[in-house]
Amino acid sequence: MTIRYNPHLKDYARRLRCSMTDAQNKMWHFLRNNQLDNIRFYRQRPIGHHIVDVVSRKKKSIIEIDGNQHYQPGQQAKDKKRNAFLSSLGYRIIRWSDRDVLTNMEGCIQYILYVSKKSPPPPSLQKRELNLLI
């Protein structure tokens, strides 16, 4: 099933790619150019009426890196609704805070590899250690 995206988001997504946060830039440094297990990732891509931070279409994985605004009243309900929509398309959503990415990049990368291979996580990748919001 092909989901169309809102064409009005295309220019906005381009602007977002030029103004990524420090955490998004750090993550993108490890994901660009198929350098992580030869997985193709795209950054700031429209899906439906949403723009996701990072997506692998082949692996059906979305990585969201949340700044402080995601912890404001009402935003978590919006994120939950957005996650439900993206999950209904078959995507698995991985959410980290900016802090998780900036302080534990190795753990984040290992978890992305775990998700992409759909194998049991090694003991060192317990969710509580990464503060993951999946």
The pLDDT of 2-23, averaged and rounded, is 77
Question: In Å, what is the CA distance from 74 to each residue of 77, 93, 96, 99, 105?
Answer: 5, 19, 18, 21, 28
Domain-by-domain residue ranges, the chain?
Answer: 9-130
Query: CATH number of the domain at 9-130, out of 3.40.50.11540, 3.40.960.10, 3.40.190.10, 3.40.50.2300?
Result: 3.40.960.10
Contact 86, 47 (CB under 8 A): yes
**Per-residue pLDDT tens digits for 106-123:** 889 888 888 887 666 655
**Per-residue pLDDT tens digits for 47-102:** 988 989 999 999 999 999 987 676 677 778 888 898 999 999 999 999 888 888 99
Closest by CA position to 38, among listed 108, 120, 117? 117
How much is the pTM?
Answer: 0.79
Contact 100, 130 (CB under 8 A): yes
